[in-house]
């Protein structure tokens, strides 16, 4: 089987997505996408429960972003109820991370990173679900950085390529992880324990 592509189309890279309005003049934007052989209603629960620590994980490289705990392989029912302001911790034990800025169930989820409470986001991370055909969904993911984004202490001209490379590696793994979980016949159910989801 050929490796699955996470490359967004030209239209996906250039069109307006939910959350773009929160950073109208970004200093950097990256967009990736993957086709998932499941309807949006079966993909959405995997997005709703993301986050490190006591959430389901990021479905990426768990050794890096989930404290070596494996991301959940099942839907965790108690993590399905989100609201604007819900925290998706970036790392286990973290008290900061990505907050829900906007969402439309089964359609879009916009996360953001704020330097302080009630401040404007310095980064947004949008997950958009669109029907391709009956039973098939396109998941488009876009990250945008605003002025003031901390490039690990590096000037933007040096930090941006570094961040783009790292983001691609982690984002690709995450998209593949979401797709494989959503497409698995054994991925649904509410009998997941919190330890399985750590």
| Among 120, 184, 176, 126, residue whose Cα is nearest residue 146 | 120
> What integer pLDDT is reported at residue 191 of this predicted model?
37
Question: pLDDT tens digits, residue range 93-109?
Answer: 988 899 999 999 999 99
Tokens of 108: 């879009």
Does CATH place domain 10-186 in 3.30.530.20?
yes
- In this prediction, residue 197 has a pLDDT band, given cuts at 50, 70 and 90, of very low
Helices 40-48, 156-183: inter-axial angle, 10-degree rounding = 130
Q: φ and ψ at 172, to 5 degrees?
A: -60, -45
The contacts found for 3-8 with CB under 8 angstroms, 24 or more apart, are: 4/34, 4/35, 4/176, 4/179, 5/34, 6/32, 6/33, 6/34, 6/171, 6/172, 6/175, 6/176, 7/32, 7/33, 8/32, 8/33, 8/140
> What integer pLDDT is reported at residue 118 of this predicted model?
82
Sheet holding 28-36, edge to edge: 28-36, 136-145, 123-133, 108-113, 97-104, 87-89
Domain borders along the chain are 10-186
Q: pTM above 0.85?
A: yes
Question: pLDDT tens digits, residue range 111-154?
Answer: 999 988 888 999 999 999 999 998 999 999 999 999 888 776 77
The rounded distance, in Å, linking the Cα atoms of 176 and 173 is 5
């Amino acid at each position: 089987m050929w490796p699955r592509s996470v490359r967004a189309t030209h239209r996906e890279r250039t069109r307006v997505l939910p959350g773009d309005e929160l950073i109208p003049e970004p200093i950097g934007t990256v967009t990736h996408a993957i086709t998932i052989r499941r309807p949006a209603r079966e993909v959405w629960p995997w997005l709703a429960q993301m986050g490190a620590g006591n959430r389901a994980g990021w479905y990426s490289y768990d050794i890096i972003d989930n404290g070596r705990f494996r991301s959940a392989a099942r839907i965790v029912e108690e993590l399905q109820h989100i609201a604007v302001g819900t925290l998706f911790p970036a790392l286990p034990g973290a008290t900061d991370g990505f907050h829900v800025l906007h969402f439309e169930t089964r359609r879009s989820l916009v996360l953001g990173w704020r330097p302080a409470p009630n401040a404007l986001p310095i980064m947004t991370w949008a997950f958009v679900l669109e029907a391709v055909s009956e039973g098939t969904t396109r998941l488009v993911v876009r990250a945008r950085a605003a002025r003031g984004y901390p490039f690990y202490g590096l000037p933007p001209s040096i930090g941006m390529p570094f961040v783009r490379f790292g983001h691609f590696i982690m984002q690709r793994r995450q998209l593949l992880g979401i797709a494989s979980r959503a497409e698995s016949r054994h991925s649904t159910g509410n009998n997941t324990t919190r330890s399985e989801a750590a």
